[in-house]
Amino acid sequence: MAEQAGDKPFLQFTNVKKTYDHKTLVVKDFNLDVAKGEFITLLGPSGSGKTTCLMMLAGFEDVTSGEILINGRSVTSIAPYARNIGMVFQQYALFPHMTLRENLAYPLKIRKRPKDEIKAKVDEYLSLVELLEFGNRFPGQLSGGQRQRVALARALIFAPDIILMDEPLGALDKKLREQMQFEIKRLHEQLGFTVIYVTHDQTEALTMSDRIAVFNNGIVQQCAAPHVLYERPANLFVADFIGESNKLMGTIESVGDDTVGVRLEDGGLVSSLKANCCEVGLPTTVSIRPEKLTFTDRLGSAGNQVKARFVTRHYVGEYIRYHFETADGTELVVKNMNDSSAPQFSNSDEVALAWLPEDSQALDRPVAAATLQPHN
């Protein structure tokens, strides 16, 4: 379990920057405090800086400036093997000529642990990942999911301070990847180790993390719990990268305590929560999740409304995606559960779409996040 707020951070990135050519910063100013036992995911597109931060923590990349501390001790100049960090990679990195028992025993042997302790630990961790009966098999005799469980057990067996995971499930198919997500979370909850996890898969991050740091162009755009990122994105980049977002362009016409009135480009007036854009006269984008949009007969006179022309619908199993287009060409998507309430429309039907003010946000351009504090 993660430490409570007010405890000293277990892991700290302080003003960390990284450049490879002394001209361009690939990590521009990374600040992050992590509590012991937290599961933190670094999420972002390729080239956004997330893996570079992981490699600097592991010691495989030098820090250009700034400092990384583990349990109050700076590790910025410490060799990778002296940092007491475990790693799990996408390609498993198991020794193919060793049995599972020998693979798990290896990190204990190089730390010169007693033989009886090694045997007991190997049995314990094979049981933990439910592979005790496979101990004498070689990695090539296992499925991808089984190999990844062995790789996870090997990373955990020597009791590292932190486990780093770099796209560990990227080589697995969708069903197996989902199974491994729950397996990793089960072990995390059971053992309470601290995790820094790198992925570009939004669903994976939302499913597994205590907090997610969303990267873009070397800057953390927002770091928060999954539900906060999804329901209250800090800017348009986060709204677009985490899940899916409808966007209506407009200008702020009025500002209240928590909401703003927005005059849309088609002339309609709507109300929205204010996020990082809240001055009268400024252009803004109203962001609405597809599942928050519905049809006016379901809200009555409550909420905001916009008229749009039906374009098409896509069957996705548990839900149906309806595609609409407003008079100014803005595309809108509505997600509706696949049940008896799912309506039928004909091509070019004009439909009034509706949403509650609290289910949308008025957003401006992306901004960098401030120093990030431990989760509580």
Confidence of residue 4 (pLDDT cuts 50, 70, 90): very low
The residues, any chain, with a CB within 8 Å of residue 20's CB and separated by 6 or more, are 26
Place of tokens 């204010």: 274
- In whole angstroms, what is the distance from residue 360 CA to residue 376 CA? 26
Give the pLDDT score at 1: 43
Q: For 225-239, what is the mean pLDDT?
A: 94
Element (H, E) at 131: none
pLDDT at 174: 84
State the chain's mean pLDDT as an integer: 89
CA distances from 66 to 14, 113, 245 (A): 6, 35, 35
pLDDT at 283: 92
- What is the token pair recorded at 368? 């960098």
Q: What is the DSSP letter of 139?
A: G
Instruction: Give the residue from 222, 200, 199 showing the smallest Cα distance to 211.
Output: 222
**pLDDT value of residue 171:** 74
Distance CA 1, CA 39 (A): 10
- Examine the pLDDT at 338 and tell me if it is beyond 70: yes
Q: Which of 325, 310, 333 is nearest to 266 (CA)?
A: 325
**C-alpha gyration radius of the chain:** 24
Does 3.40.50.300 match the CATH number of domain 11-236?
yes
> Above pLDDT 90, what percent of the chain?
65
Residue with structure tokens 């401030």? Answer: 370
How would you list the strands of the sheet with 73-74, edge to edge?
25-34, 11-19, 65-70, 73-74
Q: Which helix (DSSP H) or strand (DSSP E) does residue 64 occupy?
A: none
Answer yes or no: is pLDDT of 370 > 50: no
Label residues 148-181 b or e (16+ Cβ within 10 Å = b).
bbbbbbbbbbbebbbbbbbbbbeebeeebbeebb
Q: Please report where in the chains the tokens 């439909």 appear, as a residue.
A: 351
pTM of the full predicted structure? 0.86
Contact (Cβ atoms closer than 8 angstroms) between residue 185 and residue 177: no
pLDDT at 7: 67
Q: CATH class for domain 245-363?
A: mainly beta
Task: Return residue ranges of the chain for CATH 2.40.50.140.
Answer: 245-363
Checking if the pLDDT of 365 tops 60, the result is no
Q: Dump pLDDT digits (tens) for 20-32.
A: 999 899 999 999 9
- Spatial CA neighbour of 121 closest among 163, 149, 154, 74: 154
Which tens digit of pLDDT belongs to each residue from 286-328? Answer: 999 999 999 876 666 668 999 999 999 998 888 999 999 998 8
Instruction: Measure the CA–CA gap between 5 and 213, rounded to whole angstroms.
Output: 18
Residue 93 pLDDT class (50, 70, 90 cuts):
confident
**Is 151 in contact with 87 (CB distance < 8 Å)?**
no
* Residue matched to tokens 């490699």: 55
Cβ-in-10-Å burial (0-12, 13-18, 19+) of 17 comes to middle
Kindly give the pairing relationship between strand 211-216 and strand 219-224.
antiparallel
301 φ/ψ angles, rounded to the nearest 5 degrees: -90, 0
Express each pLDDT in 189-198 by its tens digit.
988 999 999 9
Residue range(s) of every CATH 3.40.50.300 domain in the chain? 11-236
